[in-house]
Structure 1
């Protein structure tokens, strides 16, 4: 009986009732029409027999036709009786007031024409709604007519039909209710499955279907559908999990790549190797979360990997103890540095070569990657985790890239330091060469000075050095005279003092300010640069002249093919090149003989042959 409480049942019942009304109405209307036609036909026969009886009695009882009409009307219960003349005038009529009046007042022309045609018969006046029975006893006798209203005839029929229809409709409704109940009992499983499928189509995969009472094919269908939905739910959950895992993996990879990028960008900005490696260790901890990161570098003899940078407290203690691991020794780092390839221990308890470090007791996983740049092993990157199975393939690939970047950064920093040292050495050598050249230049010439008295007037000054200039040279710094108007500043080139400059303001001027002193110092720096450039230019000219001289002498000597002529030409050219110089040339290996040509002055040549050079 729970089915009666469901909206679906009443909806189905209404549909059954609505659909049953159509054939029921058709049947009722058809039966009603058939019965009405039969009643009308029977009633026409009755009315015709009444007209015939009235005509017969009127012939049998002449003079009492009016009384007979009223009597017949009373006997039949309401039918109208009258005799109608050939002119259409009422001769008699059950309604006395109509005697002598024209029948056209009550009948249509067609109906009246049919009645007066003289034929005996039955007439159904549809327009007037009357049944008419016509009978003529003889051709000369008046027309006896009996009429009855159609409503009066069908009223009883309608009452009968209504009396019959009420129990019929009740029986039909009961039959519909029983049929709906039976159909719904069979349709309920299908409705359940349909509703279940509708909810599933809306995305509600968690809805449950009641399979109780489902048997046969319907039960199998429901069971298969439930299993299909469960499998689909599992597939969706699995797919969602895979998507989430993939998103997390992509996010993790993105973070790893960002970490590699940041480490590479950061390490590129460091030139000090210790600071570079220490910063790298902290960056790896920050982005990867490993509790210990150690960076090892090989010592000069390449026998040990020395811990150079770390991030953990245990690692700091190891740094203080100058922790080192032997290349090829029993350790992950030793293996990686000897074989120049990564070594991974996902569970250090099961790894035979893991070094059990008392400063790092929480280590459960460890990985060491060699630091190689341009084919040269520099050290190793060692990372350790407190979890087993801590390293994935992506971690290994990313850290390998990171190790390569660290190796390149280490090599770049080392090359930068070497370059800086080479530049510093070259600068020192060049500075010493420059200072030596200026010392020789200053020693080879007398004191030279210049004084500017008025704008555009410059005089050469060779007098002894003034006290303020001497003090500036002695102190190698700017010196202001006692009145504050005289400023003396030394002139130095690469640390070599070569002179000094004195500036004197008029007596009415203000004393020298710090900005003016800074300006003078800047000008002195520019002046020292210009003087150094002039010296270098002078040396380059001298060098070019010497090279030109050597080239000319070589050309002249090369033009002579005889040995003696070559020697003579060489001695002569050397004598001309060095003014007031005696040039002597002697061949070794001659027994006792000696030939000599002397030219003590320019243009003179001495040629000797002997055993000594």
Structure 2
């Protein structure tokens, strides 16, 4: 069902329609069933409801009319009319003043035509009317002296005044109909003056419209009012009803003689019954009537409501349908009214709230929206949304500020890290880092780096900023690892240590060169589990280091650690390479010296081409000093000499001397010569290595051969003789001596271990 999944407004409308239409349909079924089972009971209920409605309507118009008179009486004795009314009641007011009062009363009467005002009198306590207003003819309002002291109305007025009652009702017989005289007692503060306002109302005109039925055939309920018996009205006129009902013969003098009217006149309890009107006559008819007593200002009026019993079947038959139809119509009207109210009170606020939520999703946090004054769920939802939006806005601003700060810190960290990475010298690296930290971070006024010594006993200050840093470095400032200080703790525990308020911190150690410090942060410099030092920063303000700054400086510390370690490794590697290169050069130099010694020559040279006799010694000396090719000045023979050093691993082995015709000389020729000489250096060194390898192999062969010859000998003399013979043969020496010295052997007197060993012979052995 789409109604169950559509908008809130449609769902409310749907369920309210069900809630109203279903009971109406149920009532229709009930009424239909009741109509089929009991006409009379339903009809009696209908009569009673009609009577009750008529009674309420009559009571309302009477109360309204009397209320108007109370208001008028109060205005006659207020400040505006107070003096004139007093003077008029005592006979001292002028005619014009009385005319003004009469005009005021007439105006008040004319503003309430529904009350059917006929006449009005302003009467003093002697019964003399000083003002008369007539609304029936030409609406005359004049001062007039009329004696009303003998009228029932004045008598009633005196009784009310003497009992302290300010208002009452007198029912009297008018010239053509029954009239109501409303009596209002006018009292003044001095209690010396008293007056009365009499207002006459045409009762038939005022009440007739209430009792007018829709049809005048008796088949719909009609009502009439029976006057109190003490009013003294003749029987033929002792009722009030619509003139049309009287003309239709539904309410006549015969109606007052019927059972219903008599029950009411005799003050029998309210009830509904069936009785006959004008029995035995041509006008005889059976009715269902309801009678009740209505109290109007202390007087009992009887209200009779009747309907023809014999002609009521049609009415009864259609009543369920009429009632059901009315209920359905009223339900639909109520439904749309309630739906409109709900739409305005629920759906529209929710739609507005939904729009604001969508705006919020789009990043709009500031569109004006007034807090709801409602205390229901919609108001709570609206105010909760506003609070949530305000909280989100505050969080957004805070997050943006934090992100901006983090981005700034990261930019600074990146800048400092780039400086640190590029620097290869450890000391310059640390100096630049601490200087950049103080320069870029506004919260930090001093920064320093400690390096743990080789024994991990002390953290020694290695870099520091400002004049204080110079003083600390000059005196060799250091702190013991694990001591009660920020540096001692961070190098011991290997975790960031922060003293947010140095005046209350247990780990901060005051430094005489840094008296302004109010907050201190130290971050370990460590690689894996090895601590190498700590980065220490200080601020002039308490609680300067929040989590974001601690994290940022932690990242910087990690980068700094890597940079320091890389610089250290780079320095060590450079030193190692330098040592290796030096050793390699010495090795090459020694090898070539050994090679030349083995060759029994001071130099090895080779020449090609025509020798002009040019002396290359000066160019050779320059090339040896500069370690690169040297070009000489053109010679008299139109040649250009140049020398290229033969270099192998930074070691000069010799020189290649060139002399070319000046016309053929070109700088590229020197470059070509350098390339060839470079290959020459590798070639001759490879040749040397090959010769050395071959010589080594030859020595190994000879040693192995001699070892094989002496291995089978058991006599020392034979072994010595074989050895020196083979050595002489291999070395081509004419004479080889081998001696065993006795002083090299321990004697018996030197110790017990000497006993039993033969004394060696001191003899020369010559090869066979």
TM-score bracket for this pair, using the shorter chain length: 0.5 to 0.7
1:299-378 paired onto structure 2 within 5 Å: 305-310=459-464, 312-314=465-467, 317-318=470-471, 321=474, 324-328=477-481, 331-357=485-511, 360-373=514-527, 375-378=529-532
CA shift for structure 1 position 390:
3.1
Contact persistence 2:646–2:680 (CA under 8 A): no
Q: Distance in 2 between matches of 1:539 and 1:243?
A: 80
C-alpha offsets along residues 408-450 of structure 1, whole Å, 9 cap, x if unaligned? Answer: 3323322221222122122223323333444455563165433
Q: Could you tell me the TM-score, scaled by structure 2's length?
A: 0.43
C-alpha offsets along residues 104-130 of structure 1, whole Å, 9 cap, x if unaligned? Answer: xxxxxxxxxxxxxxxxxxxxxxxxxxx
Call closer, same or farther: CA 1:364–1:428 in 2, change over 3 Å: same
Q: Secondary structure at the match of 1:472?
A: helix
- Which residue is equivalent to 2:694? 541
Q: Which moved more, 1:387-396 or 1:365-374?
A: 387-396
Q: Secondary structure at the match of 1:348?
A: coil
Contact persistence 1:469–1:500 (CA under 8 A): no
Q: Distance in 2 between matches of 1:338 and 1:362?
A: 26
Corresponding residue to 1:381 among 516, 535, 549: 535
Between 1 and 2, higher relative CO (CA 8 Å, sep ≥ 6) is seen in 2
Q: Distance in 1 between matches of 2:573 and 2:701?
A: 36
Call closer, same or farther: CA 1:513–1:323 in 2, change over 3 Å: farther
1:55-454 paired onto structure 2 within 5 Å: 191=344, 195-203=348-356, 206-209=369-372, 222-242=375-395, 245=398, 267-281=420-434, 290-291=443-444, 292-298=446-452, 305-310=459-464, 312-314=465-467, 317-318=470-471, 321=474, 324-328=477-481, 331-357=485-511, 360-373=514-527, 375-393=529-547, 395-397=549-551, 399-439=553-593, 441-442=595-596, 444-445=600-601, 447-453=603-609
Q: Distance in 2 between matches of 1:186 and 1:373?
A: 73
* Structure 2 alignment gaps of length 5 or more: 1-214, 217-332, 358-367, 625-629, 746-756
Call closer, same or farther: CA 1:200–1:491 in 2, change over 3 Å: closer
Q: Secondary structure at the match of 2:447?
A: strand
Q: Secondary structure at the match of 1:421?
A: helix
Q: How many residues align?
A: 402
Contact persistence 1:263–1:280 (CA under 8 A): yes
Q: Distance in 2 between matches of 1:511 and 1:362?
A: 78
Contact persistence 1:487–1:512 (CA under 8 A): no
Corresponding residue to 2:660 among 489, 496, 505: 505
CA shift for structure 1 position 545:
3.3
CA shift for structure 1 position 531:
3.1
Q: Distance in 2 between matches of 1:545 and 1:416?
A: 44
Call closer, same or farther: CA 1:533–1:249 in 2, change over 3 Å: farther
C-alpha offsets along residues 309-367 of structure 1, whole Å, 9 cap, x if unaligned? Answer: 45x54566457746623324664224433554432111222224424446545533211
Corresponding residue to 2:685 among 518, 521, 532: 532
CA shift for structure 1 position 582:
0.8
Q: Does 1:491 align with 2:645?
A: yes
C-alpha offsets along residues 534-586 of structure 1, whole Å, 9 cap, x if unaligned? Answer: 33333333334334444554555556677776666555544444331514153
Contact persistence 2:522–2:536 (CA under 8 A): yes
Q: Distance in 2 between matches of 1:408 and 1:346?
A: 28
CA RMSD of aligned residues (A): 4.7
Contact persistence 2:502–2:518 (CA under 8 A): yes
Contact persistence 1:260–1:398 (CA under 8 A): yes
* Structure 1 alignment gaps of length 5 or more: 1-33, 36-179, 212-221, 455-460, 605-613
